[in-house]
Structure 1
Amino acid sequence: MTKQTITLFQVSMILIGSIGIINHVIMIPMLLDTSGRDSWISIILVSIIYLIWISLIFIIYRNIKNEHLFSWLKNNFGKLSVYPIIFIVVIYLITIGVVALKETLTFFSFYLPETPHFVLGILFSMICLYNATRGIQSIALTTGVLLPIVFLLGFFVMFANVPHKDYSLLQPMMENGMKPVFKGMVYPAAGFLELIFILFLQHHICSKVKLYQLIALGMVIIGITIGPVMAAIIEFGPFVAANQRYPAFEEWRLVSIGRYIENLDFLSVYQWLVGIFIRLSLVVFLIPDLLSITNQKTRNGIMFAILSCILFISILPISDSSFYWCVSQFILPVSALGLFLFSILLIVFVWVAKFKKSS
């Protein structure tokens, strides 16, 4: 398979689209359940740590020098140290793929209640599989076409709902102390730390990455996280918002144009479809790419097997409340902790490799 390259801007668009489905949608009810009115404070506090953490990612990137991450680890530390890490990363990618697809099937059951999840899952999976098999350039190009419309719709709903916003609902701040604020920080962190995916894609980036570019990307991700959280609180109030399954999309139900045009929440379907399309395509593409498999037929076979596994788990008869509990109490907290520890492990590997070269 010929190596495909893309620009940093294209990688940024992919990451914004992929992280957006988590931080802009899926984690919001969990954050509101935990931190309530102070959810936006949780995001601000974790954002400070996040921007500092980005500098660690840049140090790792600069030392690996656009080499395939796991090839670099294998060359410097041997296969035995790399394979356990790859195994854990693959399990993680499959897990976040399951979360994304399961949440998508739940969301679409509101609009297509009589359509079996299996049918919807196959349709989504086939489209994402085709995109992933075409390579990272296909993912980048489709993202470049679809994501700007998502941004435009986001700005539209933001300005259209200005009459419904009451900023006094953001106060009083920290009425229950700092404990709920600290507990809620883990949810946006789970999405923020997915910026580490840029290390998984760095061998496809055709230009040098600079620190200010990573910080700018981080700021955009912070923006798409804090925006819908604050909007949910000031439009519905913290208690009503916390009881909603997808507060970011409930905001569409408030939108009206003049006296006769309303019920525009169908536009949220497009936003969700773009998010799941980018995220699932990226997850399925990354697994054989991280395994350094170059034979196209083998890559396609692995992608098909991975997506079949994701689909099978997603359509298991698990209640939405049980799945919600699993994601909020286990998957997102473990993801946040795991990605942070992985970044620390990589920085240790970088320092050890530098010490070995200097000695």
Structure 2
Amino acid sequence: MKDDYSSINTLHAGLLMLTSAGLYNHVMVIPHLLASSGRDAWFSSLLAAFPLLLLLFLLSYLMKRMEGTPLYVWVRERGGRIMAGGLSFLFALYLFLQIYITIKEMIHWTIFTYLTEVPNWVLNLFFLLAVGAALYGGLTTITITNIILLPVIILLGFFVATGNVPNKDYSLLFPLLENGVTPLLRGILYTMSGFSEIALLLLLLPYVKKRIHFTGLFLLSLSFIWLLLGPLTGAIAIFGPKEGSMLRFPAYEEWSIVSIGTILTHVDYLAINQWLSGALIRVSLLSYLLLSLFPAADKSIWRKRGLLFFLILFFLSSIPIPDTTFFVWQKRSLLFTFYLLLLLLFFLFILAVKGKKRA
């Protein structure tokens, strides 16, 4: 893994977050959002824009105070080594859980859709080898790979959205609040668990050449909302709120019914490109950020850490878990990681306001 300080620009950082959070919202958030909020899910996503805006102001403030300094160094200068190590460990826990959830979800989807007889560990091994190759090249390699894959992901997204227009009935989006405000509030929580990933830009700051301004954060957040609303409203308009809430992979099911007349049908294999590309970039990026949290003077230490990390990750993610069990655990994990991230941001805010740089 290479030292990539100041190696990417603001646009590159935004595109990396777009791919990573886009997969998270598409694949992992939407099923739980539909299950918890039903028809109100899309309205919850819109209302989540208000707490997201507050989060953007907080991130903008923290970015100004951190000035591109690595998290561990910045916290150590204001709170000491113990606090720096503690907060870095909690960030590492957050990142590890997100990586694990992404890999398991990718494996479950792969077995569910097109490789039904392949063992977990085989899928896991080949996927982690690809991630390891990206990590070996460093953040620049991950960024270049993302620049190549993201346009294809976006074009395929437009294709499935427009191809399903004849199958959509947007009257199914209404009426709202049939079951009161409780489903709506639950939906806002699940939505924010996905939107809050924009905070990971704090960990990317040392690798970005220029400071990320509030305008960039705002535009990126609008992209997050658009990426979630598209497949979410599509799932409700195609399948209805009841059937949509019972689907395990709503975004994939939208692919399964795409047809262009009677000539072009059964194109759901194209979803494989979207899902695997997004998973590769997401896991590679989050793994890079995790391994970069704790400074190391010797490159051999990086290699040993990376090897240990992949061995643990391979072992844990190769353990078979029934999909129903994993889905319930994933639901709890979404909220746990969201609350954990809020707690970490709170501590960083306290340090930014009251913490004084030590000599």
| TM tier, smaller | over 0.9
The equivalent of 1:32 in structure 2 is 34
Tell me if structure 1 keeps the 8 A contact 2:205–2:211: no
For the residues of structure 2 that align with 1:294 and 1:231, how far apart are their CA atoms? 50
Aligned to 2:148: 145
Q: Give the match for residue 73 of structure 2.
A: 71
User: Which residue matches 1:188?
Assistant: 191
| Aligned mate of 1:80, from 79, 82, 95 | 82
**AA of the residue aligned to 1:67:** T
Give 4+ residue runs of structure 1 displaced > 6 Å after superposition: none
CA distance in 2, matches of 1:294, 1:249: 44
Of residues 130, 134, 138, the one that matches 2:133 is 130
1:54 CA displacement: 0.6
Q: How does 1:1-359 map to 2 (within 5 A)?
A: 2-4=3-5, 5-109=7-111, 110-328=113-331, 330-353=332-355, 356=356
Tell which deviates more after alignment, 137-146 or 79-88.
79-88
Letter in 2 for 1:224: L
Give the percent of matched residue pairs that are identical in Structure 1 and Structure 2. 31
**Residue 260 of structure 1: CA displacement?**
2.3
Q: Distance in 2 between matches of 1:120 and 1:300?
A: 23
Deviation at residue 240 of structure 1 after TM alignment: 1.1
Aligned pairs, number: 354
Q: Name whichever of 42-51 and 116-125 sits farther off.
A: 42-51
Distance 2:199 2:51 in 1: 15
Instruction: Quote the Cα distance in structure 1 between the aligned partners of 2:160 and 2:167.
Output: 11
CA distance in 1 between partners of 2:299 and 2:159 (Å): 42
TM-score, normalised to structure 1, is: 0.96
Match of 1:115, SS state, is coil
Q: Distance in 2 between matches of 1:185 and 1:167?
A: 21
Give distance in 2, aligned partners of 1:91 and 1:338: 9
Pairwise CA distance, 1:296: 2.8
SS in 2 for 1:250: helix
Distance in 2 separating the partners of 1:29 and 1:87: 29
TM-score by length of 2: 0.96
User: What stretches of structure 2 of length at least 5 have no aligned partner?
Assistant: none
Gaps of 5+ in 1: none
